[in-house]
Amino acid sequence: MSNDGRFTALAASAILLSVVALAPLPTRAEEPGHRKTTDYPAVEDLPPKRENPAMTPDEQSKLKKELSATRDRQAPKASVGARRAEPVKP
């Protein structure tokens, strides 16, 4: 066998091997009518609308005031602690 014949045989076998290796394996088709069940809701599923709001506007304003007051009380303490933590330059 000549060098050209060997090269052709080698190239053909390499192509055949790559086609066989890269071809998708046959898989069983999913049965129609059966949905996959997961623990998560589908993207288009929305929760039902509430009959009563979670918080009334009165409760929301009261909570905002309490949170603001708590934040304002904590802000001065944090700035004092931050000043103490700064290293002293020699």
Q: Is the dihedral of CA 34, 39, 44, 46 positive or negative?
A: positive
In a domain, 62, yes or no: yes
pLDDT tens track of the chain, all 90 residues?
567 788 888 888 888 877 777 776 666 666 566 566 777 878 888 888 888 888 999 999 999 999 999 999 987 765 555 555 556 665
Determine the pLDDT at residue 32. 63
In a domain, 68, yes or no: yes
In a domain, 43, yes or no: no
Dmax of the chain from CA atoms?
94
Determine the pLDDT at residue 77. 67
Domain tally, the chain? 1
In a domain, 72, yes or no: yes
In a domain, 66, yes or no: yes
Distances (CA, A) of 45 to 32, 33, 83: 21, 19, 51
> Which residues, other chains included, contact 1 with Cβ-Cβ below 8 Å and sequence gap of 6+?
9
In a domain, 63, yes or no: yes
Determine the pLDDT at residue 64. 97
Q: Is the dihedral of CA 56, 58, 64, 70 positive or negative?
A: negative
In a domain, 17, yes or no: no
Place of tokens 């997961």: 38
* Domain limits for position 64: 57-83
In a domain, 1, yes or no: no
Determine the pLDDT at residue 57. 93
